[in-house]
Amino acid sequence: MSQAAPSSTTLHRRRPRAACLRFQIAQQRRRAGSAGRAREVHERLTKPWYAALGVHALKAVLADNHVNVQHLLEKGKLVAKVHLLLEEELRKRARAGKSGEASTGAEGTDAPASADAGGKKPKPALPPERQSVL
């Protein structure tokens, strides 16, 4: 008995929505290099867009980001959590962009590097006669 060859629809199945969403978010994270780009990505991932996802997909996204979803029973709460997760990611990227700009701006100044580290005061310079002893 010979079995029929699988149809083309079974060979080229679409990804589940959760996997597709994880892929899109990861791809957009890689693409977003600055805070402006992060804002652009976030505008494409609007609340109605991910509100249209299924409960399973929303739970998968939250689980991938280490969010406990066992206590969330309503889809609205899942959507709100995903929204908060994306907002948090946007704020984090904005802070990283600002700190990156601040660090590149500080390189051109004559401020000692030890003053930047942890807010500690720089050690006073030793007089020349003491430097030769050490």
Return the pLDDT at 38: 46
Tell me which residues of the chain have a pLDDT lower than 50: 11, 34-35, 38, 42, 112, 114-115, 134
CB 87 within 8 A of CB 68: no
Q: Specify the DSSP class assigned to residue 1.
A: -
The reported pTM is 0.44
Return the pLDDT at 124: 62
Angle at CA of residue 40, ends 39 and 46, nearest 5°: 85
Return the pLDDT at 73: 86
- Which residue type, as a one-letter code, is found at position 73? L
What CA–CA distance (Å, rounded) separates 25 from 33? 14
Supply 13's token pair: 């199945």
Side-chain half-sphere exposure of 53, counting CA atoms within 13 A? 25
Residue 70's CB is within 10 A of a number of other CB atoms, namely: 7
